[in-house]
Structure 1
């Protein structure tokens, strides 16, 4: 008997938050933290640095990266939200000043989506009976955004900060515990990369093994390249 996906059954289910602003920065943060700090540590080890130097460098990379990610995400999401709010304000003003033209525009949108001309006009007419409903509908139909569910810059910043710090801590753990072994850091990083890639694949209904392997390959290539650069720089400097 073929298994039925839970979201294809008749039973109600809780829909996932697609616009809340936490998943993308969290995923990007943990991936970036893993790859960048693993690559940084690999580069420092490649330059023949000791455990203390590697630990200090890794902690510095963790702090700098986490704060940078948080600031960048906050600014990015805040700017996007403010631009969206400005466009919504323009739409509200247009509806207030010329409701008939906006009603015709909404009817045209519905007609383009398959409604008959009469039905499209009737739906648009009913929507415009309440101006507060009208501008929300126009925002969704014309701008493609939900004015009641805009991404939060604070959520994005906190998600990216915590995720980056968590990812960056994984390859650093052996050196914080006094273990002078790049192999241990590599093993933990590989597990973290594969696990995170697999988790993202699971959340997006993609093959788990493929998602884990893809992230492991990309992160491993970045760390290896940085290790080689660090080794070459260490050789030249020494």
Structure 2
């Protein structure tokens, strides 16, 4: 049988190991978001300053300041947002625990409806409701998933923040490399490297989507290239 990306084994040991340690949402969104924003915002500064005809040292100073300050700001924002999701999940968990304690029959009715919509009926449905309602933790988790759409794995705010910052830093430094190395025609080289980075990010994230790598790459290239072109145009308006 042909193997495809994402395939995994289905022995009892493999199944138990995988279910016992679910991956959760992962850090793909945080990494891609940080990398794209790092490339776009840093090259926007490069393009804007170059368009205005200012010194390469100004590009380096503003670019590094952007990579560090904006990267930290994005990481902090991601941390706060992920922490808010975690706090909200804790709040909803407390609500469900209180409802199960005070209104068990009503919560059983909700549990029955959740399981019914998953395809259970008749004796199988009755048995599932009885089994799950005997385990308070499983009952609460089922309510969180079925009633609020929450995942069973909590996000990690600090890890999400680090993923965003690292991706922002790595991708954000690429437009500055030709200027840091003192290369001739640094802006043209920076433009080529940045556009290649946009395409590379898009092609890489296609590993987690159904879109072909070239289409995902071109989509990200179009988004980043448009932002860069706008920044350069604005910069030319101040070229004195």
- TM-score > 0.5, shorter chain as reference: yes
Q: Report matched runs for 1:1-238 at 5 Å.
A: 5-7=4-6, 17-20=23-26, 22-147=27-152, 149-180=153-184, 181-234=186-239, 238=240
Output the CA distance in 2 between the equivalents of 1:3 and 1:206.
Answer: 20
Q: Residue by residue, what CA displacement relative to the aligned partner does 1:64-121 show, whole Å, maximum 9, x if unpaired?
A: 2101101110111111111111011100111122222211221122223332244222
Secondary structure of the 1:233 match is coil
Q: Which segments of 5 or more consecutive residues in structure 2 lack a partner in the other structure?
A: none
Output the CA distance in 2 between the equivalents of 1:191 and 1:137.
Answer: 45
Output the CA distance in 2 between the equivalents of 1:8 and 1:155.
Answer: 26
Q: How far has the Cα of 1:176 moved from its partner?
A: 0.9
Secondary structure of the 1:48 match is coil
Q: Which segments of 5 or more consecutive residues in structure 1 lack a partner in the other structure?
A: none
Secondary structure of the 1:17 match is coil
Q: Residue by residue, what CA displacement relative to the aligned partner does 1:3-48 show, whole Å, maximum 9, x if unpaired?
A: 553446875787983423x211111000010111111100000011
TM-score by length of 2: 0.88
Output the CA distance in 1 between the equivalents of 2:99 and 2:143.
Answer: 11
Q: How far has the Cα of 1:203 moved from its partner?
A: 2.7
Output the CA distance in 2 between the equivalents of 1:114 and 1:138.
Answer: 16
Output the CA distance in 2 between the equivalents of 1:17 and 1:45.
Answer: 44
Secondary structure of the 2:154 match is coil
